[in-house]
Amino acid sequence: MDTPSSIDKRKKALSKPYKKSFFKKVLENKILLLMILPATIYFFVFSYIPMPGLVLAFQRFTLTDRLFDNPWVGFSNFRFFFVSGDAFRVTMNTLTYNIMFIVVNTVLQIGAAIMLANISGKIFKKTTQTFLFLPYFISWVVVGSFVYNILNVEFGVLNTFIRNMGLDPVNVYGNPPIWRLILVIARAWKDLGYGIIIYMAAVMNIDQEMYEAADIDGASIFQKIKSITIPCLVPTMIILTLLAVSNLARGDFQMFLTL
């Protein structure tokens, strides 16, 4: 019969090889761990450290008090949100915009990735891919300023041109249907390059023997895209769509605030 002391000794004996193997694996994969270190620090600083700020949802926030010194109001803020009558409208706007973003971005990214993958000129392909990827690194503040200087009703480039043509200026910022279209276009323009890189990587990983077999059968380039390329991109499409849907809960309103 095992005594408590023998059980403890057995646990210690079993844990020692585990500890050794763990540190051995860390040393063996130190390069890979260092590669993911910047991403780990990024998410820790910008996702986990701000988590205490969630208490603001249950407080009456004032600029004069510190974070945890604000008076607690429980669920009063949530009750105000639903009683005000804007809950359904805000929720539907969020869902509608994000569905439009997902559909438009997916179609444009897949189409652009397939076109670039079928271009034979390497220099032209790399140059085009670089220019398409640059907007991804531009801040939404810069994009907002850019759009504002184009569409402003008083001194915007577009309305200045319209006035010079002898026509009435268009108040884009006061026209909801036009503004919805601009939001979708701006989001697609900014995210196009990122999606192209992912989908192009997926296109390049497709087995070339399938294309060779299609060539032997006399398939055209459109038939190969329809029967080979697009079906092979479905797993990547599903993953990116799921990631985009998961962003619905993030409340990423930076674009709406800057444009």
Per residue in 153-166, pLDDT tens? 888 888 888 888 88
Q: State whether residue 26 is helix, strand or coil.
A: helix
The topology (CATH level 3) of 95-259 is: MetI-like fold (1.10.3720)
Q: What is the pLDDT of residue 104?
A: 92
Whole-model pTM over 0.75: no
Going from the C-alpha of 43 to that of each of 6, 116, 132, 161, 228, the distances in angstroms are: 44, 32, 26, 45, 37
Domain extents in the chain: 95-259
Side-chain-side CA neighbours of 168 within 13 Å: the count stands at: 3
Mean pLDDT over 122-126 rounds to 83
The pLDDT score that the predictor gives to residue 106 is 92
For residue 161, the surrounding DSSP H or E stretch is: helix 157-164
Closest C-alpha to 196, from 76, 118, 115, 256: 115
The mean of the pLDDT values for the chain is 82
- Using a 10 angstrom Cβ sphere, with 0-12 exposed, 13-18 middle and 19 or more buried, the burial of residue 108 is middle
pLDDT digits (tens, 9 = 90+) for 171-198: 888 888 888 888 889 889 988 988 998 9
- Look up residue 45 and give its DSSP letter: I
pLDDT at 16: 53
* Exposed/middle/buried for residue 105 (C-beta within 10 Å: 0-12, 13-18, 19+): buried
Identify the residue whose tokens are 């810069």: 142
Q: Which residue from 106, 115, 117 is spatially nearest to 206, judged by alpha carbons?
A: 117
Average pLDDT over residues 112-137: 85
Q: Radius of gyration (Cα) for the chain, nearest Å?
A: 27
Model pLDDT, residue 252 = 61
- Residue-wise pLDDT tens digits, 69-93: 778 888 888 888 788 777 788 888 8
Better-scored residue on pLDDT, 48 or 9: 48
pLDDT at site 2: 52
Res 3: pLDDT: 58
* Residue 117 and residue 203 in contact, taking contact as beta carbons nearer than 8 Å: yes
- Give pLDDT tens digits for 49-60: 888 778 888 888
The pLDDT confidence band at residue 10, using thresholds 50, 70 and 90, is low
- How close are the terminal C-alpha atoms of the chain, in Å? 74
